[in-house]
Each structure stands twice: as C-alpha cells, then as structure tokens.
Amino acid sequence: MRVQRWTGTSRAFTGATIAIAALLGTVPLLFEADVVQRLTNLLILVLLAAMWNALAGYGGLLSVGQQAFIGIGAYGTVFFAGLGVSPYPAMLLATLVAGVISVPISLFALRLRAAQFAIGMWVIAEVISILVRLDQNLGAGTGISLIQLNQYAPNFRQAYTFWLALGFTVIFLSALFFLLRSPLGVSLQAIRDDEDAARSLGVHVAARKRLLFVLAGFGCGAAGVLIGANTLFIEPGSIFSVQWSAYMIFMVLVGGLGTFEGPILGAILLFGIQTTFTQGGPWYLVGLGATAALFALALPRGIWGTIEERLGLRLLPVGYRVVEMKSEERTV
C-alpha cells in the first residue's frame, strides 16, 4: 500500500484552476467597468467564504463577528488614506492592521467555546462599530467616502481594485490550501471534529485555532479593504453588519463546510442569486437564511461535500488516500 495525494483528475483540475486565475487577470482589459466591479464582488465573496470555512470547517470556530475585520479593513483604508498614504498602499496597510489586531482579539475570543465564541465575536464587531461611530474623522455614524480613489479614472480604478482582489484571493486561498496540505492540516480537521481527542493525540489546540483565527483576520480584513474600494463609500451600519456573517454562513453551508472547493461553489451561487434578485430587501435575506437552514438539515455536507462523498471526487486535494502499489513499485 502507498499514500496518494494527487490523482490525474485533481492535477488537471488544479492546473485548470491556476489557468482560470491567470485568465481572470485579463478581465479588466476586456470588460466594461461595471462588469469588472461585479466580478470584483464575486472575488470578495470567494475570499470571505474561504475564510469563514477556514474558521468553521477546519477549526470548528463558528464566528458571527468576522465583520469586525471587514470593517477594520475598510475603515483602516480611509484612515491611512486620510494620513496622506496613497490609496493602494493604504489598502495593504489596512489589511495588515486587521490581521495584526486579530492576535490580541484571539487572546480573548478563543477562550470562549461554541455559542459563546459566536456571540462573543458579534459583540466584538459591535464594539468596534461603536468606536467608529464615535470618531468624527471617520465620518461617525453617517459614513465616509474614499475620495482619494477619485484621483484615478474610473476604468483604471476599477481595474486596479480588481487586480488587488484577484491577488488577495489567490494569496489567501493558496495559503489555506498549502496549510491544509501541510502536516498541520489533519490536526486542524481533528480540532473541528473533537477538540479533546485531538489534544490527547498531541495537537496544541489553542495554537492551531489561533493560526486559523489570524489567517481569517487577515483574509476578512483584505475583503473589507476591497469592499471599501469597490463601493467607494462606507458607513458603519453596513460594513459592520452581521449580514456579512449571514452571507459567509450561507456560502459555506450550501457549498460544503470543511471542503476546500465547496465555499468557492457557494460564493458563485450567492453571486448568481445576488445578480438575479438585485432588489434585496428582507424577504431576500429570509430566503437566504431558509436555504442555508434547509441545507444544514437535509444536505449537511453541502453541495460539494455530497458530490465528493458520492463520487469520491477530489479536485483540489487536501486529503489522503491509501491505494495499492503499482506493480513496478511492488517489485522494488
């Protein structure tokens, strides 16, 4: 017997994914600004879904407060741009700040378990939101425009933002992919399934959870930066809205919690729904919530998790399979 990680199919599909990512780079050259803006939104959704999945699907951390980091990323950009940093470097700085702030937050939040953690994260997001509302320089409760981005012509601005979104998405999804493929990958999944049993097998649960939490802090911060740059106007009521968590939960549950491919699928699905039902409104959110609940009950492994189970398909392989040796290997 031997251990197999790549198959012909998964090699081909991973190659295709890399090719698609490279092709996406040409989008701003080929399409109008409004299409580019919408595809930027798609990338933001993919990034958010992957980060929530990293927390919940691998670390067992069900957060409904990741909008804290989204808000820090968006407002961080405004803050640094206000200090005179040019807009795009300001976005990188803001991402960095969101990631770094996640470290002290983790010291508090990761002491909480399960539902306490979920609610605790929501409280943290609300507290940060209130702090922003108190700051006149950040537009207080009424919001603020990212006027510094007006120095670029709309087409160029949209292209730069798209490339930044593509770069962030590739970087964070690759980081997660390689983390899950590394020897730490199985430890992370073990924590998700049974913390105490993981501990009894030598997994340092607290340190591993912190790793995921900080990764998600960076990733959600990056998404917040992109949301700000893509909409040019932010206000605390929407950027710190728990709605972001609802979107993330929807994408991950429907796509497939704890699978690498599922959340990407979920993001594409939500993007499709958002494009079709542009009116929004409360019934739209009720529909999203009901769908997510339905999936949790009827198809708990989500669309991708079910496909993977039925067909034994792994396209972006982070797992392991034990297979028979090939005959030439057996004779060696």
Partner 1 sequence: MDAAVLAAVDVRKRFGALAVLDGVSLSLREGEAVGIVGPNGAGKTTLLNVLSGALAPDSGGVDFRGRDVTSRGAADRCKLGIARTHQVPRPFIGMSVFENVLVGATAGGRRRGAEAYDLCLRVLDQTGLTPIANRRAESLGLLPRKRLELARALAVEPAVLLLDEIGGGLTDAETAALAQTVASLRDSGIAVLWIEHIVHLLMQVVSRLVCMDQGRIIAEGVPEAVVAQAAVIDAYLGARA
Q: Which of 114, 130, 153, 197 binds partner 1 (CB under 8 A)?
A: 197
**329: contact with partner 1 by CB under 8 A:** no
**321: contact with partner 1 by CB under 8 A:** yes
**325: contact with partner 1 by CB under 8 A:** no
Piece in contact with partner 1 (CB under 8 A), picked from 120-128, 195-203, 229-237, 277-285 = 195-203
What CA–CA distance (Å, rounded) separates 91 from 75? 10
What CA–CA distance (Å, rounded) separates 245 from 55? 12
What CA–CA distance (Å, rounded) separates 48 from 204? 26
Residue with smaller CB distance to partner 1, 190 or 315: 190
**62: contact with partner 1 by CB under 8 A:** no
Dihedral angle of Cα 32, 158, 14, 171, to the nearest 10 degrees: 180
**326: contact with partner 1 by CB under 8 A:** no
Number of Cβ within 10 Å of residue 140's Cβ equals 14
**311: contact with partner 1 by CB under 8 A:** no
Q: Which of 136, 200, 276, 278 binds partner 1 (CB under 8 A)?
A: 200
What CA–CA distance (Å, rounded) separates 223 from 38? 14
Q: Which of 12, 193, 272, 286 binds partner 1 (CB under 8 A)?
A: 193
What CA–CA distance (Å, rounded) separates 122 from 86? 32
95 SS3 class: helix
Distance of closest approach, residue 106 Cβ to partner 1, in angstroms? 18
Residue with smaller CB distance to partner 1, 30 or 322: 322
Angle at 88 between CA 87 and CA 93, to 5 degrees: 95
Contacting residues toward partner 1, per CB under 8 A: 1-3, 183-184, 186-187, 189-190, 192-194, 196-205, 258, 309, 319-322
